[in-house]
Amino acid sequence: MRTSLAGVTKLNDFTVLQWLVLVQHELLLFAGVFFLIGAIDELCVDIAWLWLKVTGRAITQRLDGDFADRRRLERRAAVFMPAWQESAVIGTTIKHMLSVWRDDRLRLYVGCYRNDPQTTAAVIAAANGDRRLRLVIHDCNGPSTKADCLNRLHRGLETDELRAHQRAKFVVLHDAEDMVDGAALALLDCAVGKADLAQIPVLAVPQVNSPWIGSHYTEEFAEAHGKAMVVRDALGVGLPLAGVGCAIARETLETLAKSRPDHVPFRPDCLTEDYELGLGVGALGGTSRFVRRRHADGSLVATRAYFPSGLDQSVRQKTRWVHGIAFQAWDRLGWSGSPAEFWMRLRDRRGPFTALVLAVAYALLVLSALGWGLGALGYGESIELPPLLKTILVLNFISFIWRALWRFAFTTREFGPVEGLRAILRIPITNIIAIMAGRRAFWAYLKTLAGGRVRWDKTDHATHPAMQASGLIG
């Protein structure tokens, strides 16, 4: 039995089954329209990236085999690494970094808290007497925020600069779980000589022990840092830094600090200090570069890392991202800038609304399954969809196939076809995590508006890519 909405004029004439059909229709319309708007937005980025490729402006150049060995840093470079309860991985990170970045002009500043002796001990053991490492103990109990810890590292750098009468050329941000690339430091040194800010790609390494949750970051970063960041760089808008593998000129960091009332480069109550740093430099008129290069063997010059492997940890991490970028940044940074800047900020802040639309879509699946079940029993009613809505649904289906192909292509380029196929199969899991993170971020934001404290709700790290490379983990 089919029901036409035009034939039912009074709402009180609706039966329960007709109400079910009406709700399905409205959810279809809502989700279909906004999915289509999102598809158009993504299609614009796709077209821009394809145009950059065709015109040769997005070609990923290859480095000479001895690039990292023969290029020495122009001046001293500082690496900031804030850490809270990272004793399981920070030793591996430090050992690997100091072994592949051998330049004596490197200074690694690791920030620990006074109530975290395990991480402090791991840092001291990993340094093994290397004079390039600076251990900085925060004078407060942790965790505060990553931004607050970075400000403490900044004060440590200032002290060293006064003692040595020598200013660093740039500052690089890294996390305690990162596996740096041997060519990255020299590449950032070249880039900062031409721009105020530089970011190299991040690759989320697939996890053997968590192929569905921990590995779902793989395709997200592969596509975002293979396409979206390339387009943003070409448009000349502010770059949303990843917080790792990014370098800022020392003078620019100082200018940013002086522009703020508390004279610190990072706002202590910020959840996504890296994002605000990237857009803040752009607001000051600084130039940014996304530096994408490959080694002679074709591997990407990138920071590699494992991301959370458990559902709760993954949701917590993405909650922090959505809260900081979509809500906090809206408050702090507003919508100023060029039309291209406005477009990119709108894309950055769509997370909560995307979560809402996805939740509606999954609710629609449940209702549709219920309707089909009732129909099979002879009780259900179906609705005759208007031609326009049918067209919208067809376009959304085509868009889904198109998006899946792009996801497959970018993941396959870095990790092979097996991981590319998994990337498509992981789409429902990615959506569910986005829904959960969007809901939690919204409530977390409301709590801060009510005066709640912002703190470093960091994720735990137990494994490191270098451990797998050395056969220490499976």
Name all domains of the chain by residue range, CATH numbers in brackets.
Answer: 2-33+351-449 (no CATH), 61-340+462-469 (3.90.550.10)
pLDDT for res 14 = 59
Phi, psi dihedrals of residue 137, rounded to the nearest 5°: -95, 120
If one counts every other C-beta atom within 10 angstroms of the C-beta of residue 129, the result is 6
If one counts every other C-beta atom within 10 angstroms of the C-beta of residue 212, the result is 15
Q: Of 195, 193, 207, 240, which is closest to residue 464 (Cα–Cα)?
A: 207
Mode of pairing for the β-strands spanning 133-138 and 202-204:
unpaired
| Residue 317 identity (one-letter amino acid) | Q
Residues, the chain: 474
Give the C-alpha distances (Å, rounded to integers) separating 322 from 108, 182, 295, 434: 30, 31, 33, 9
DSSP secondary-structure letter at 12? G
Q: Can you name the residues that pair with 305 across neighbouring β-strands? A: 204
pTM for this prediction: 0.91
Q: Is 236 helix (H, G, I), strand (E, B) or coil?
A: coil
Burial of 462 per CB tally in 10 Å (0-12, 13-18, 19+):
exposed
Is 406 within 8 Å of 223 (Cβ atoms)? yes
Q: Is 176 helix (H, G, I), strand (E, B) or coil?
A: coil
Q: Is 249 helix (H, G, I), strand (E, B) or coil?
A: strand
Is 160 within 8 Å of 284 (Cβ atoms)? no
Radius of gyration of the chain (CA): 25
Phi, psi dihedrals of residue 108, rounded to the nearest 5°: -100, 115
Q: Can you name the residues that pair with 79 across neighbouring β-strands? A: 108, 172
H/E run at residue 188: helix 184-192
Q: Of 175, 118, 178, 113, which is closest to residue 149 (Cα–Cα)?
A: 113
> Which residue's structure tokens are 């949750």?
213
Kindly report the CA angle at 425 between 89 and 414, in degrees rounded to 5?
A: 55
pLDDT for res 17 = 63
Is 350 within 8 Å of 300 (Cβ atoms)? no
Q: Can you name the residues that pair with 199 across neighbouring β-strands? A: 246, 290
Task: Catalogue the E-assigned strands of 18-144.
Answer: 61-62, 77-82, 106-113, 133-138
Write out the two tokens for 25.
């229709």
pLDDT for res 431 = 96
Mode of pairing for the β-strands spanning 170-173 and 77-82:
parallel
End-to-end CA separation in angstroms for the chain:
56
Task: Catalogue the E-assigned strands of 269-361.
Answer: 288-290, 293-294, 303-305
| Residue 409 identity (one-letter amino acid) | A
Between CA 100 and CA 185 the distance in angstroms is: 10
Write out the two tokens for 71.
């290029």
16 contacts: CB under 8 Å, gap ≥ 6: none
pLDDT for res 336 = 76
Between CA 104 and CA 100 the distance in angstroms is: 12
pLDDT for res 379 = 65
Helix axes 387-415, 216-223, angle to 10 degrees: 100
Between CA 403 and CA 42 the distance in angstroms is: 9
Buried b (16+ CB within 10 A) or exposed e, 247-279: bbbbebbbbbbeeeeeebbbbbbbbbbbbbbbb
75 contacts: CB under 8 Å, gap ≥ 6: 105, 166, 167, 168, 169
Number of H helices, E strands in the chain: 18, 13
The per-residue pLDDT string of the chain (474 residues; one tens digit each, 9 = 90 and over) reads 444 444 444 555 556 666 677 778 788 889 999 999 999 999 999 999 999 999 999 999 999 878 877 788 989 999 999 999 999 999 999 999 999 999 999 999 999 999 999 999 999 999 999 999 999 999 999 899 999 999 999 999 999 999 999 999 999 999 999 999 999 999 999 999 899 999 999 999 999 999 999 999 999 999 999 999 999 999 999 899 999 999 999 999 999 999 888 899 999 988 899 999 999 898 888 999 999 999 999 999 999 999 999 999 999 999 999 999 999 888 888 887 789 999 999 999 999 999 999 999 998 888 777 766 666 666 656 667 788 988 999 999 999 999 999 999 999 999 999 999 999 999 999 999 999 999 999 999 998 888 777 777 778 888 888 776 544 433
